[in-house]
Amino acid sequence: MSENMAALTTQKADVDKQVAVLSHALETTKAELKTAQDKVAFLTDENKVILQEKAVIQGQFKQLQSSL
């Protein structure tokens, strides 16, 4: 009976260690995901600005073409 108890105690300690490692890995992954999401949001905003600038330049080019 006490051998069983010792084995279960050892198993629980191992599982607790694995849970701690996996929890840390999860937190790291969450932080990396947040960083990636922030970068995507930044690039999306930057892309919108570039598309607006492109539209302005295309408009100016059309005006220039029509004045030639």
Q: How confident is the model at residue 1 (pLDDT cuts 50, 70, 90)?
A: confident
The amino acid at 50? I
**25-53 mean pLDDT:** 98
pTM: 0.70
Whole-number Cα distances in Å, 37 to 27, 33, 46, 50: 15, 6, 14, 20
Phi, psi of 38, rounded to the nearest 5 degrees: -65, -40
Residues 11-30: tens digit of each pLDDT: 999 999 999 999 999 999 99
Return the exposure string of 27-58: e unless at least 16 CB atoms fall within 10 Å of the residue's CB, then b.
eeeeeeeeeeeeeeeeeeeeeeeeeeeeeeee
